[in-house]
Amino acid sequence: MSDFILVLNCGSSSIKFALFDASAVPLPRKAAWSGKVDGIGGANTQFTEAGATAEAIVLGDAQPYHAALEHIRERVRLRLGGARLEAVAHRVVHGGAKYFSPIRIDASVLADLGSYIPLAPLHQPFALEAIAALLQSRPDLPQIACFDTAFHHTMPDVEKLLPLSFDAWQRGLRRYGFHGLSYEYQSIALAERWGDRARGRTICAHLGSGASLCAMAGLRSVATTMGFSALDGLMMGTRCGALDPGAVLYLMEIEKLSLHDVGQLLYHRSGLLGVSGVSADPRELLPKEAGDERVELALALYVRRIVREIGALVAVLGGLDLLVFTAGIGEHNAVIRERVCRALGWLGIGIEAAANAAHEARISTAESTVCVAVEPTNEEWIAARHALALLRTA
């Protein structure tokens, strides 16, 4: 009889899940079963499992997030049959200055992680809500937190330090970096696919609704674009990315926006959605840009910010051997990839149009001085792998 590890990735309105067969050696990279609940708290909540059509579900108004979690748990129980659930692994966005390795969660750890909610308000509270619910109902079931900030622990202090008074550093105000589970997977997959080239000067572009870049040397993080919070760096779907702090002071002092209003603006009404006024998704924006100047400008700014930040990381690395696109937009949007690479032509990058359109593993030409790759991410497998390793050494 197999044992399984359940991985949960909790966001504000969705819970993604994946079930991995922990008895298989090595741990399979493809989940035995996976899916998500979307639209939690809204009028159209759906449950989707891999290979099946989405189905509408009703969660009720009282505690829709708890109801969504319970719906997943019930489906997992049915899926397992008589098999044992060995542990639940959680993607936890922020580990702060204390947690650099996966850890089994108890009440004390949960309280610690709650102190980081202001640093990742779109993700942290919802992961912790799921953890707390499971701790209460299944205290016997091991729960493992895997941190998105942990992979960037290898960055030098000069990359972590904020240019504030030094006592801010001593209080824990620093650049942490995010999307670490995705970049950790890239450090494994790229070494397997590209060997020594991946161990050189690599930049990974995790482009999804949230987006960041990571510069790697020797497959370790040496710099990244997200910093103290998940607002920093690249322009994103609804988040602003790097912003002159004077603009925030202006909004609060001159336009009299409250702290809450500024938070809503920067996290939910900026980025592609804010500039275009239409959508946060490039798939919806690209067909509209020819007839809409704001949409055209939003996409141009989105690409420009990626190009600018890649240029900065190339300077930090002292050159570039491998450029990798990953996550939803990075893996599936050939137009965005082509525009970014065209603007980086000065690096000697050349793109093979047919390979790019087909989302092939290598999309650069034979003559390109930089290898450009597309590598699907697999954060869930990384979390399951960490959980399994922690349980086996406990």
Cα(115)–Cα(91) distance, integer angstroms: 17
Kindly report, residue by residue over 31-89, the tens digit of the pLDDT: 999 998 887 777 788 888 887 787 877 776 677 888 888 888 888 888 888 888 999 99
Candidates 21, 148, 232, 321; catalytic one: 148
Kindly report, residue by residue over 52-67, the tens digit of the pLDDT: 787 877 776 677 888 8
* Range of lowest pLDDT (116-130, 136-150, 331-345): 116-130
Kindly report, residue by residue over 303-358, the tens digit of the pLDDT: 999 999 999 999 999 999 999 999 999 999 999 999 999 999 999 999 999 999 99
- pLDDT at site 61: 67
**In whole numbers, what is the pLDDT of the chain averaged over residues?**
92
More confident residue, 373 or 116: 373
Q: pLDDT band at 394, cuts 50/70/90?
A: low
Mean pLDDT of all residues in 208-234: 95
- pLDDT at site 88: 94
Q: Cis before residue 102, ω within 30 degrees of 0? A: no
* Residue 1 pLDDT > 60: no
Kindly report, residue by residue over 105-116, the tens digit of the pLDDT: 999 999 989 888
Kindly report, residue by residue over 185-209, the tens digit of the pLDDT: 999 999 999 999 999 999 999 999 8
- What pTM did the predictor assign? 0.93
Asked whether the beta carbons of 124 and 113 are under 8 A apart, the reply is yes
113's enclosing H/E stretch is helix 107-114
Cα(187)–Cα(201) distance, integer angstroms: 12
Cα(40)–Cα(50) distance, integer angstroms: 19
Kindly report, residue by residue over 250-307, the tens digit of the pLDDT: 999 999 999 999 999 999 999 999 999 999 999 999 999 998 999 999 999 999 999 9
Residues with Cβ within 8 Å of 298's Cβ and at least 6 positions away in sequence, in order, are: 272, 275, 276, 278, 285
* Residue 242 pLDDT > 90: yes
- pLDDT at site 70: 85
- pLDDT at site 190: 98
Mean pLDDT of all residues in 87-116: 90
Q: Give catalytic status of residue 232 as yes or no.
A: no
Provide the CB-side half-sphere exposure for 75 (13 A, CA): 21
- b/e string for 6-38 if b means 16 or more Cβ within 10 A? bbbbbbebbbbbbbbbbeeeebeeebbbbbbbb
Cα(128)–Cα(176) distance, integer angstroms: 19
Mean pLDDT of all residues in 89-93: 92
Alpha-carbon torsion angle 173, 175, 179, 183, nearest 10: -140
- pLDDT at site 50: 82
Residue with tokens 């989105």, as numbered in its chain = 302
Residue with tokens 């034979």, as numbered in its chain = 366
- pLDDT at site 81: 86
